[in-house]
Amino acid sequence: MDATASKDTASLGERFAAARLQAIGEISDPQGIGRLSERSLHRIVKYFTEPDMRYHEVKHAGFVCDIMRDGRITEIQTGAFSKLKRKLDVFLKEASVNVIYPLHKSKYIRYIDADTGEITPPKKSPKHQSIYSSAYELYNIREYLSHERLTVTLMFFESDEYKLRGIKHKIGRRYRGCERAECIPIRLLDIVTLKSEADYKIFLPETLPDEFCAADFNRAVGHGFSDGYSVIAILQSVGLLSEGRREGRRVLYTRLDK
């Protein structure tokens, strides 16, 4: 890593630490976890993106923007991108829009006793998220991804997930002994910006041949990935793939980036 890159990384780390303190402070009271007016993850990302509260929760065109400054709108979405469609239909007609999607590249689980407030030591979760973890949500707004005014930003964090023990939580016919209270980022690891066709090439595995089917795509990604159809639809929408010939029941796709 050169000196400039190292300086930039340090600067991002300092900005994130400041945003974390500004958004929720140092969390010392476990009883306060999960009781904020909005989830800590959303708040931290909002303060990281725009520290000045004057530009938060701005009313515009019949909606409330998470951030609006200098004619640019930022929406922080921790899930359910389908809910953004009505906003995007309106906002993209007159403004640049950045949709930020926070993801947890690594995560530590901590359990809180609901009666005593005692917190267990952290235990690393085997689950982690990658760029492909955004596939389902990006698929839901795929018709907007090639819009010249839209940017999607994936922010990857190392996070602490807090779960409450001692509260019965019904799922179907069974009760679980704990439930998730908060997932709080503790360190910013990476930022991936998706705007141009070239940016979306990051979703194309290097080993993927020029012509392939969805099963080939899943194998190329590896790690048990099974959502190739969503990524393929995303890549078609931004002009990196085209649907080609059929082999029996298989649909073959052709790479347009070569």
**213 in the same domain as 154:** no
* Residue 133: pLDDT band with limits 50, 70, 90: very high
* Residue 28: pLDDT band with limits 50, 70, 90: very low
Please report the pLDDT score of residue 116 as a whole number.
83
Please report the pLDDT score of residue 132 as a whole number.
97
DSSP 102-144: EEEEEEEEEEEETTT--BPPPEE-S----GGGGHHHHHHTGGG
* Residue 249: pLDDT band with limits 50, 70, 90: confident
**233 in the same domain as 209:** yes
Please report the pLDDT score of residue 243 as a whole number.
92
Give the number of other CB atoms < 10 A from CB of residue 30: 19
Number of domains in the chain: 2
- CATH classification at residue 234: 1.10.10.10
- Where a domain ends, among 165, 195, 225? 195
pLDDT in tens, 195-217: 999 999 999 999 999 999 999 99
pLDDT average, residue stretch 136-160: 97
**191 in the same domain as 256:** no
User: What is the residue range of 88's domain?
Assistant: 3-195
